[in-house]
Amino acid sequence: MELKDAIITRRSYTKYLDKKVDLKLIADILNTAIYAPSSGNMQNWYIVLVDDDDKREKIANASLKQLWMLQAPIHIVICDKKQDMKRMYGKKADEFGLQNCAALAQNILLLATEAGLASCWVGSFDKEAVSRVIGASPNEEPQIIITLGYSNDNPKSTRHELDKVCCFNNCGARIKGFDLFPLEKYTTKMEKKMKKESKSLFERIKKLFRRSEN
């Protein structure tokens, strides 16, 4: 699967099959995912894989009782090694630490999609409760949970058109006379125009044949 396809086809799954995931496959995903960028190359993430039934239930309950999470055979908890970040970045440590963990999480989601796995990014949870479940130290703060497994569900998702979320140089600014977004809109217009011109040409040819027959 091409990277572009993985980005476009990735979805957030909340329904999973009762099917285990090979830990070697997860290891392959994580071995690649850890090449995510991080501020100062700190690589401040700490990853905890959870497949224990009791622990997954406690994590789901700590995540605002999102019990659908129990269906996923694997929970990946991404923690931020805060002490390392504070030593390097001081007041900016929390902000940069979370950004780094998010970059890692996105890599995991895309690699999971490429591998045919279903996943979901969970951000709403009681950090202290999850920390107790996984035995995290005060220096290891849970930031993101990713559910992982197999699914035959087909969740739908839409995106805003690019011209609604992108501008040039300043917020809301467009380049005069240069309408780039969205490309599909103009492709569709071009196709309609070509069909119309083709139909018009066909009608003219028909008229010429009629005249020649007369």
The confidence band for 86, taking pLDDT boundaries of 50, 70 and 90, is very high
Q: Which residues contact 95 (CB under 8 A, 6 or more apart)?
A: none
Q: What pLDDT score does 207 carry?
A: 66
- How many C-beta atoms lie closer than 10 Å to residue 193's C-beta? 10
The confidence band for 183, taking pLDDT boundaries of 50, 70 and 90, is low
- What is the separation of C-alpha 174 from the centre of its chain, rounded to a whole number of angstroms? 28
Q: What pLDDT score does 196 carry?
A: 65
**What is the tens place of the pLDDT at every residue in 92-135?**
999 999 999 999 999 999 999 999 999 999 999 999 999 999 99
Kindly state the greatest CA–CA separation across the chain: 94
Q: Is 99 buried (19+), middle (13-18) or exposed (0-12) by CB count in 10 A?
A: middle
**What is the tens place of the pLDDT at every residue in 45-65?**
999 999 999 999 999 999 999
Q: Which fold has domain 3-149?
A: NADH Oxidase (3.40.109)
Question: How large is the average pLDDT for residues 74-95?
Answer: 96
Element (H, E) at 134: helix 127-134
Compute CA distances 118 → 13, 68, 151, 154, 160, whole Å.
6, 13, 6, 10, 23
What are the beta bridge partners of residue 120?
147
Asked if residues 161 and 182 have their Cβ atoms less than 8 Å apart, the reply is yes
Enter the tokens of residue 120.
Answer: 């979901």
* Torsion-angle region of 109 (φ positive above 0: left; ψ -120 to 50: alpha; else: beta): alpha
Q: What pLDDT score does 167 carry?
A: 82
Question: How large is the average pLDDT for residues 192-208?
Answer: 62
The confidence band for 195, taking pLDDT boundaries of 50, 70 and 90, is low
Task: Kindly give the pairing relationship between strand 45-50 and strand 140-149.
Answer: unpaired
**Per-residue pLDDT at 11 exceeds 90:** yes
Q: What pLDDT score does 166 carry?
A: 83
C-alpha span between 102 and 203 (Å, rounded): 58
| Residue found by looking up tokens 């996105």 in the block | 106
- How many C-beta atoms lie closer than 10 Å to residue 83's C-beta? 15
Question: How large is the average pLDDT for residues 177-194?
Answer: 55
**Per-residue pLDDT at 184 exceeds 60:** no
What are the residue boundaries of the structural domains of the chain, listed by start?
3-149, 168-214
Asked if residues 148 and 22 have their Cβ atoms less than 8 Å apart, the reply is no
